[in-house]
Structure 1
Amino acid sequence: MANPVLLLHGFTGSVASTWQPTGIIDLLREGGREVIAWDLPGHGSAPKHHDPAGYADMEAKLVERLSDEVGGQAVDGVGFSMGSRTLLAMAAMAPERFGRLVVSGVGRNLFSQDLEQAERIARGVAGEAAADDVHAQTFARYAAEPDQDGQALAAFMRRKHAPLGPEQFTRITHPVRVVLGNEDFAGPANPLLEALSDASYTELRGCDHFATPKNFGFIDAVMEHLEVF
């Protein structure tokens, strides 16, 4: 039996805004896959906390939730941006729970923590972005969607992240496809490709960060790597 597929969206996203419009859920199901698509804590229909402590140990809790939903069966995973980082952290915590992985919208950014920029984005989603901070203003627009809560998203951004460094990457031996637009601020992809023991790469020409989930090249890479026919 083919593995179910776990879909994890990015920061300020949701299942409804990231995965449903592209038809990828239907394509996976038509290919015989069960799809598990969650709104991450603080996003969409998920519980929203205004205190960063409310998001403590998020990745470990998601691993537990996965066990509750599929028992001992392994899953394949697809992530975008923050969802990709979350997916990699989960795979490092519980390698036996995962099969093939597709991570998109991540690369060099996983290896450098810019706390100042993170705080600017947190202020942005809370409605406090400086007028000339284009990056924060972009996230602020997504945070203004009807199913989002800017204060919850700010708290999510300020939470303590699960570690993702050399120790974790050595535990990720799964086949991983990295998908990144050549205009994505998260790039280049090289540091991530070098850190993973079994990685392949798809570059999306002319694609920026936020356009990635809707790019046909991304969808094709998912179907190819997960061997959905």
Structure 2
Amino acid sequence: MINGMTLDLNLRVVRANAEVKSPSVLFIHGFASSGEFNWDRSRWLKYFTDAGRDVLLIDLPGHGEDPRRNDGSWAPSQIRQALAAIVMDLDEGPVDVIGYSLGSRLAWEFAAFNPDLVNHLVIGGPGAGDPLAAFELDQARAHVETGEKIHDDYTATIMQIAKAEPSNDLSALFELIEAIKSEPYDPAAKVPSVPTLLVAGDQDDLATTLPHLRRLLKNAGTRNEVLWLAGRNHANAVTSREFKEKALGFLNS
């Protein structure tokens, strides 16, 4: 379960369908999703492997087919160490990183703390705050155990998302939220130095603080670009072909 006190994240390596000329791409999915749900079903894997990219697809703790494969802390700092171990163990050299929603927070921190392991960074649906900080764990747990109504609107929305995927283990997701709350997100504490693309739907309420992230990048002297997806929200931005095309073009730049 634990290898040298590093989380053993479920990893799937998907090889390119064409000649490989560029670095592998590490995909980090969002909350209540999985590598398959976030990236395979929305055809990111096929798009990138067809373009000659090997893909590193992980499941975060509490997610995927084996949500409890990891003992120990699931805090973001431990997830970062596990991602670094994957990249180094595979001897991939620097990789390109794409994260969405919660994955964008983790990708931001991973690139900021490990600039030697990352070439380019793409983060979708990002915000300057912690998307799970306001989640009311007590209300959510009571709802699952007794059917009690959730009174916090934001928590109710996140619960709808979590319950929409039948394979999700809600108690495991709650444990991950608890671990994430133990290390509040402060994007200004360490800013990525690698070229960064910020992408969000223009109807995404969770991405209204994206401009703050861009200011942090600009102030740090980090090359950055922004793409707003017309008519897209937090739930469907990830399925956008424009997002895929812009991301691949940015990684190749």
TM-score when scaled to structure 2?
0.77
What is residue 88 of structure 2 aligned with on the other side?
67
Q: Which residue pairs with 1:219 in the alignment?
A: 244
Q: Which residue does 1:32 correspond to in 2?
A: 52
Matches within 5 A, 1:141-180: 141-144=160-163, 145-159=165-179, 160-161=182-183, 164-169=186-191, 172-180=192-200
What CA deviation, in whole Å up to 9, does each residue of 1:73-100 have, x standing for no partner?
Answer: 1100111011111111111221100011
State the Cα distance separating 1:126 from its structure 2 match.
7.0
| Counterpart check, 1:193 vs 2:225 | no
> What percentage of residue pairs aligned between the two structures are identical?
25
**In 2, distance between residues paired with 1:122 and 1:132?**
8
Maintained 8 Å contact 1:126/1:140 = no
Please, what TM-score do these two structures have when normalized by structure 1? Answer: 0.85
What per-residue deviation string (whole Å, max 9, x for no partner) do you get for residues 131-190 of structure 1?
554433332233232331100101101112375433311xx1111100011111222221
Amino acid paired to 2:36: A
Return 5+ residue gaps in structure 1 as ranges: none
Whether the 8 Å contact between 2:67 and 2:169 is mirrored in structure 1 is no
- In 2, the alpha carbon distance for the partners of 1:177 and 1:37 equals 20
Structure 1 residue 65, shift from structure 2 partner:
2.2
Report if the CA contact (8 A) 1:101-1:174 is conserved.
yes
What amino acid maps onto 1:168 in structure 2?
K
2:158 is paired with a residue whose SS is: helix
Map 1:133-148 → 2, pairs under 5 A: 133-144=152-163, 145-148=165-168
For residues 186-218 of structure 1, the C-alpha deviation after alignment (integer angstroms, 9 at most, x for no partner) is: 222210111112210000111111112112222
Runs of at least 4 residues of structure 1 off by over 4 A?
A: 131-134
The answer to whether the 8 Å contact 1:125/1:143 transfers is no
2:100: which partner in 1?
80
Count, aligned residues: 221
CA distance in 2, matches of 1:85, 1:38: 15
Amino acid of the residue matched to residue 166 of structure 1? A
Checking the alignment, whether the CA contact within 8 Å between 2:136 and 2:155 is kept in structure 1 is: no
Question: 2:98 corresponds to which letter in structure 1?
Answer: V
The offset of 1:129, in angstroms, is 7.3
Q: Deviations over 1:99-121 (max 9, x none)?
A: 111101113335xx874x22359
Q: Which amino acid aligns with 2:99?
A: G
Cα distance in 1 between the residues matched to 2:46 and 2:63 = 22
Q: Which has the larger radius of gyration?
A: 2
| 1:21 matched to 2:41 | yes
Q: What SS does structure 2 have at the residue aligned with 1:200?
A: strand
- Of the structure 1 ranges 13-22 and 160-169, higher mean CA displacement relative to structure 2 is found in 160-169
8 Å Cα contact 1:8-1:79 kept in structure 2:
yes
Whether the 8 Å contact between 1:41 and 1:48 is mirrored in structure 2 is yes
